[in-house]
Every structure is written in C-alpha cells, then in structure tokens.
Structure 1
Amino acid sequence: MIEQISPNTLSSWLDANRIHGEPVLLDVREPAEWRLASIQPAGAELLQIPMQTIPLRLAELDPERPVAVLCHHGGRSMQVAMFLTRQGFTHIANVAGGIDAWSLQVDPSLPRY
C-alpha cells in the first residue's frame, strides 16, 4: 500500500526517510502546470518529469532514495507511486491532494488552477 502524506506533513516525511538517501520530490505534472505553480520544499531534490514519460525516464530515478510524488490533485501521483513500487522502489509516498492542497494547507500565495 502506498503511504499517503498531506502537504503539511511532507517535511516530516522527508526528514524521517532521509536515512535512505537524499529525498526526491517528483512532480509528475505537465510543463504548463509547472509554470502556473511550482514548489521547492527544503530538504528534497525537485525532479519534474511528466507522468507519461516516467517509464522512458525511469533510469533517472534511484530506487533506493525516498520519493514523494506530487501532481495537481493526487490522482496521477498515486498512479506513478504504484508504478514505482512495482519497479522495486521501496520508500514511496503520494502527496495527497497535490499542489492544490499545498496551496490550501501550506502556501496560500501559490496560485490555484
């Protein structure tokens, strides 16, 4: 089962999983979405790889590192998290509610779309 974390608990998840390597925040939205609203949380490397290109770019991800997956509302990120788990990634979390929830819970100045 994929761990669900809220935007306001992402920082704690990153800290708790740092023992497995530098955490990654994997944003699987499309480039146009990144331009509308994007985040760079402290304590994680941000990788922006659109969902549809994940299988082709899988080698860019280290299965040993913790990965928190983010999208607009949490649906695409959940699909990617399940895919990564099937590929042998062991420290995976889905950011429930996505960037939209981030705007509501963490940073109200972040545009909602």
Structure 2
Amino acid sequence: MSERARQPEDLGRLFVERANAGDVEGLVALYEPDAVLAVPGGQVQGAALIREFYAKLLADGPRFAPGEGQPALRKGNLALTSTLLPGGNATAEVARRQPDGSWRWVVDQPTVLPPG
C-alpha cells in the first residue's frame, strides 16, 4: 500500500515521488474518486480520466522537480494547498481529510499562471 498523506502538505511531495517513479496508480490514489483535475484545454473528472491523463503524461518518462510547498490553509476538513514551482509558476489544490485521517485532493490546478 502506498504512503498516505498524513497532512495536506504531504500531497505535493508524494506527487513528485510517484510521478518520477512512473507510478500512475499512486498518483490516482492522491485524488478522491470524483476529483477534478485541470488539464491543457480543460479539465477531467473522476479516477478513470485522471488515470488516463497521467498514463499519457508519464509515458515518455518526464522528470518532475520538487517545488516549494506552501503551508496549507485549513478550514475544518478542507485545505488549500499550493506549491511554488521552478520557473515561476505555481499550483493550487483543494484537499479533503478522509475518514481515516489522511488527505486527498478534490480539485487540482497544476498550473495557476498562463504561459508566456
């Protein structure tokens, strides 16, 4: 079983570790089953489409550099997570505490700033 995010801030680190390992299923496990992920040109929703997106993304073996995770903003069982990325971009995500106390993303915007 893959490590679970014990704190919302763990999600970004786990993403980089799993993406660099080519672990598509591990990436999908970071999201709630009906989560929404922003992708180029729109968004995908649900584990099957998130899995399909990451399988295509990781097919060529890209490497992901860790960014500078920011402290999560928490309100009850919700948290806003974000990471400052190398190159000046940032991510923004909404995570939810799960019944077992772990955290998973509900909404993920991996690129906040438009290119250019």
TM-score (norm 1): 0.29
Larger Rg: 2
Greater RCO (Cα-Cα under 8 Å, separation 6 or more):
1
More strand by share: 2
More helix by share: 1
TM-score (norm 2): 0.29
